[in-house]
Amino acid sequence: MRYALLVQGAPYSSQASHSALRFAAALLARGHNLECVFFYHDGVYNAARLAAPPQDEPHLMDAWCALNTEYGTRLQVCIAAALRRGLLDEREAARHGKSGYSVQSPFELTGLGQLIDAGLGCDRLVTFSP
């Protein structure tokens, strides 16, 4: 089956990201496809490229990136929710006159339409909220 996940909790603030990553690993192990993970609400902070968790904690950012590298899962971040919260890729940073950027590939800033597409186009959408 084709799955999509919606993550709405900030990393390390709630269990949402951990639960989503565990669920992702389990569904992939059962032979399903994980087409995309969509980040909305405070979930957009999962895309913060400067996250530096202590070494003895799970590295959520690395785990998201591994889903993309190993399974081609798209990591889509709601652009409206992200910009408000200071999460800008290089292009948006330039457009807004910012000296640095906080989001990079494989995370993509994208519109909410992608969430609706994923929700209606995939066989299952599972939401993890704070």
Partner 1 sequence: MILHILNRSPGSSLVYREALAGMGPEDRLLLIEDGVQGALTSQARHFESLGGRLFALREDLASRGLEGRCDASVQVVDVDGFVVLTEEADKTVSWF
Partner 2 sequence: MQYPTVPPAGDVLVILRHSPHGSSWLREGLDAALVAAAFGQAVSLLFQSEGVLALVKGQGPGPLGQKGTSATLDMLAMYDIESLFLDAVALARLGFSSDELQLTARPVDQAATAELIAGHRLVLTF
Give dist(CA 5, CA 36) in Å, integer.
7
In the stretch 5-24, what mask flags binding to partner 2 with x, by CB under 8 A? Answer: -x------------------
Of 18 and 49, the one with the shorter C-beta distance to partner 1 is: 18
Nearest CA to 124 among 27, 16, 14? 27
91 binds partner 1 (CB under 8 A): no
Asked if 48 and 39 touch (Cβ cutoff 8 Å), the reply is no
> DSSP secondary-structure letter at 123?
S
Residue of 66, 93, 112, 126 that binds partner 1 (CB under 8 A): 126
82 binds partner 2 (CB under 8 A): no
Give dist(CA 98, CA 79) in Å, integer.
16
In the stretch 45-64, what mask flags binding to partner 2 with x, by CB under 8 A? Answer: --------------------
Residue 65 annotated in active site: no
Of 103 and 125, the one with the shorter C-beta distance to partner 1 is: 125
